[in-house]
Structure 1
Amino acid sequence: MKRREQAVEEGMGVQRVSRRSRGEGLSVQAAGRLRPLLESFLASTDTGARMGFDPVEFPHRYAHPRDIEVSALLAASLAYGRADLFRPKVDALLRRMGASPAAFVQELKVAGARELLEGFVYRFNVGTDVAVLLLGMGQALRELGSLEALFVRGREAHGTVHGALSHFTATLREVPMAPLRRALGPERGLHHLLPSPLGAGAAKRLNLYLRWMVRGPDTVDFGIWKQVPASALVIPLDTHIGRISQHLGLTRRTDLSWRTAEEVTASLRLLDAADPVRYDFALCHYGMSGVCPAQPVVGNCAKCLLLPACAVGPRLVRRSSSSQP
């Protein structure tokens, strides 16, 4: 894999879809036209049918807030690549961690990490990488009582979500590395798992984790972090959200950067200032399911509830109609 392609996969850099990257978000007038379409689209989404394709299914196994936040961060951190490949890895780890992931990480030592993670490999990550995450979570729970408290401390210190996330990951990585390396070998993709410094990338998986913890509660998100308002969240930007956001005029930027994520979020705040990322699950799965693919399908476009606001679909539908005998 080329260095640039690997950086994209690892979320370490900024993916360039084309050379144009100058941004411009949604106008107030366009927001007024888009809002009812998105509301109908959201209401039509079969959330239950998509839950099995989303890593949020894992924290839904638990009831206690600490177990939810620990299992959720593990699941979100490993949720890259194909779902059918990362889901078995997350499932196996959580099953071995027992009924309470929070209690497990609070009691975890290097020997236990070796027992759990020896031989673990998932794409860019090896057991040492995951051990840092688990030991870091345990340390945060022992010292602060929750992962929420760690994030809030960073937000108070830095004032932004980006700064808070950078503080969050840096603190989780503050575990002694020498004993881990002796027990499990060298780390390999630790920056991918816990990026520090956060950099210019969109930090999709970390923002996904925040969405789960902060907004809601509803059938998808938990709303267990009460000290962070949903209005502060940033969209978990990936290729699906990026493409659909361009179609809907939420941004004209074509890179998957933090700046683009902020611009898309700013457009969504015109639709719902208090809860701008509430459309994320539905829109992301619209792309993931193949209904709105990278190469548009005319038949799908013709039936799409968002067609009147789309910059791509109407042209394809008109072209297809005019070519019919």
Structure 2
Amino acid sequence: MKKQLKEHLMLLAERYETPAFIADDPIQIPHRYTSCADIEISALVTSWIATGNRKAIIKSADRIDCSIFKNHPHDYIMQGEWKIYAGRKDSFYRYYSYDDFCLLCSLLYDVYSQCETLEDYLYNSFDELSPLQRLQSVFGLVNGMPDKASASEAKKMCMFLRWMIRRDSCVDFGIWRKFSPKDLIIPLDTHVHRISTDLGLTKKRKCIKTACDITKALAKIWPDDPVKGDFALFGFGVNEPAK
């Protein structure tokens, strides 16, 4: 990686990883909470529906938070209110059905019936797996959440893990201390893939291997926190042409 590009990416990451980023990003929804379980549930559901433009995602995540969770995600899960949606095939959000939402909630119920936090459940239930593989092992049956055998870039799951694990950030929560930011993978969507290709960080098609390649390239700048580069690529794409 050329020195000029490296320095520019570092500058962009610092410019965009600020509290102001939260106001226009779906991460604002889980930022409403302080308890670990509420943050986890709100963040997982918000990242799960993260398809489409950010305004639409925020609007739908807010609807779920206020009208369905009624601002108490953990209580909603543990009280089993989601069971009324079992078998409903009509649209919950875009190509997700109410039955998909019910399955996600039932898996969360299983998790919190055994552990106080999703982090504890993932850490205690699996050995020698990456954070993504652990998450896939639990939620891989849910529509939109690829399992370990998939070649999908698993963008939404990687974004959720970024929110939970990255530390010392004014945007991401960093409440999961049992996992290392070194093990995160860049959330790879069409926008990030295009910018990464233009910048020469990858030449491959969009898939999990490509996301790993881009993450390795970013690790040359931020070896302990490669996914910090997500903010740089966001800023590069929004305001500047690739060079």
TM-score, normalised on structure 2?
A: 0.88
Structure whose alpha-carbon radius of gyration is higher: 1
Does residue 238 of structure 1 match 2:192?
no
Aligned to 1:37: 8
Local SS of the residue matching 1:121: strand
Aligned to 2:25: 54
Q: Structure 2 residue aligned with 1:191, among 120, 143, 156?
A: 143
Deviation at 1:104, TM superposition (A): 1.6
| Structure 2 counterpart of 1:81, one-letter code | G
Counterpart-to-counterpart distance in 1, 2:44 and 2:154 = 13
| Structure 1 counterpart of 2:133, one-letter code | G
Deviation at 1:145, TM superposition (A): 1.9
Counterpart-to-counterpart distance in 2, 1:131 and 1:166 = 17
Local SS of the residue matching 1:212: helix
C-alpha RMSD of matched pairs (Å): 2.4
Deviation at 1:235, TM superposition (A): 0.6
Q: Deviations over 1:164-205 (max 9, x none)?
A: 2321314xx5xxxxxxxxxxxxxxxx422x333550010000
Counterpart-to-counterpart distance in 2, 1:151 and 1:46 = 28
Check conservation: 1:211, 1:221, Cα contact below 8 A.
yes
Counterpart-to-counterpart distance in 1, 2:233 and 2:8 = 12
Deviation at 1:286, TM superposition (A): 4.2
| Structure 2 counterpart of 1:234, one-letter code | I
Aligned to 1:101: 73
TM-score, normalised on structure 1?
A: 0.67
The verdict on how the C-alpha distance between 1:217 and 1:66 changes in structure 2, with shifts beyond 3 A counting, is: farther
Local SS of the residue matching 1:249: coil
Aligned length: 241
Deviation at 1:159, TM superposition (A): 2.5
Deviation at 1:130, TM superposition (A): 0.7
Q: Deviations over 1:134-172 (max 9, x none)?
A: 221122011122111233246x434234432321314xx
Counterpart-to-counterpart distance in 2, 1:42 and 1:197 = 30
| Structure 1 counterpart of 2:74, one-letter code | A
Does residue 275 of structure 1 match 2:225?
yes
Deviation at 1:132, TM superposition (A): 1.0
Does residue 65 of structure 1 match 2:36?
yes
Counterpart-to-counterpart distance in 2, 1:279 and 1:87 = 23
Deviation at 1:239, TM superposition (A): 1.3
Higher mean alpha-carbon deviation, 275-284 vs 37-46, is at 37-46
| Structure 1 counterpart of 2:167, one-letter code | G
